[in-house]
């Protein structure tokens, strides 16, 4: 056995032996990390600003708002059905086809949504100070940093998510050449798919935590696609808000 093949086999064997623990860690560790961050730095709110109907601006169009919800619900469904296969591969074989079809539909929705944000996700020169200062997230008194519609952190999340989704799709397509049982799948791509699923889970937990708890001013985006003008003036000062 060649060295690369041996190393790949070792990785596959390690994931197969510890997959349940790795998935539990993918849920629990980022959650614990988020809690630690919140207790250390607290929320970053735009205090002393009115947020009545006349002060809100739309950051998501209706189509983007619907797509965002579909992506969220789709991810939660895929995470649950994926985890069900990890913890019980003998009694839930029927979950495999359901997970596969839902994953394909989710990928199409995500691709259409993400492609609509490509222009906003391109890095600009003003993103570098944001990155160097980590967006002010490691400061108890963060100063406003220049950003467009998406800040540099959101852009990094965007491109990382795009790559992870492509990896999940490719690995899923390869696996579908086998059966829906673990024995019939391409072992390497089964391992890659599982690890990318763990990574996607960590990313989404972090994204949700930042949006709902660290930046509570953005929580209303889930309900109506809007944020306060005070928030965009402070955190997205270079974005020309659509009228």
Domain boundaries, the chain: 62-139+149-226
Over residues 133-148, the pLDDT tens digits come to 998 898 877 778 889 9
Over residues 164-216, the pLDDT tens digits come to 999 999 988 888 765 544 444 567 888 899 999 999 999 999 999 999 999 99
The answer to whether the beta carbons of residues 215 and 144 sit under 8 Å apart is: no
The answer to whether the beta carbons of residues 136 and 145 sit under 8 Å apart is: yes
In the CATH scheme, what is the homologous superfamily, with its name and number, of domain 62-139+149-226? Transmembrane di-heme cytochromes, Chain C (1.20.950.20)
| For the chain, counts of helices (H) and of strands (E) | 9, 2
Count the neighbouring beta carbons within 10 Å of the beta carbon of residue 36: 10
Over residues 74-110, the pLDDT tens digits come to 999 999 888 888 876 545 567 888 888 899 999 999 9
């Amino acid at each position: 056995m060649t060295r690369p093949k041996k190393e790949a086999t070792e990785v596959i064997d390690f994931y197969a032996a510890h997959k349940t623990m790795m998935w539990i860690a993918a849920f629990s560790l980022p959650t614990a990390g988020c809690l630690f961050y919140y207790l250390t730095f607290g929320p970053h709110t735009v205090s002393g600003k009115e947020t009545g109907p006349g002060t809100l601006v739309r950051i998501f169009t209706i189509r983007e708002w619907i797509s965002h919800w579909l992506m969220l619900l789709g991810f939660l469904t895929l995470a649950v059905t994926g985890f069900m296969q990890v913890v019980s591969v003998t009694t839930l074989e029927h979950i495999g086809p359901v997970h596969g079809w839902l994953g394909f539909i989710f990928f199409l929705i995500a691709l259409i949504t993400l492609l609509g944000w490509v222009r906003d996700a391109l890095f600009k020169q003003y993103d570098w100070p944001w990155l160097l200062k980590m967006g002010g997230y490691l400061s108890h008194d963060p100063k406003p940093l220049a950003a467009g519609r998406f800040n540099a952190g959101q852009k990094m999340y965007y491109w990382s998510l795009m790559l992870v989704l492509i990896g999940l799709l490719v690995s899923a397509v390869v696996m579908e050449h086998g059966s829906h049982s673990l024995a019939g799948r391409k072992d390497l791509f089964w391992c890659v798919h599982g690890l990318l699923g763990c990574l996607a889970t960590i990313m989404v937990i972090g994204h949700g935590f930042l949006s709902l708890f660290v930046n509570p001013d953005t929580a209303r985006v889930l309900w109506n696609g809007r944020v306060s003008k005070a928030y965009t003036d402070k955190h997205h000062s270079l974005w020309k808000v659509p009228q």
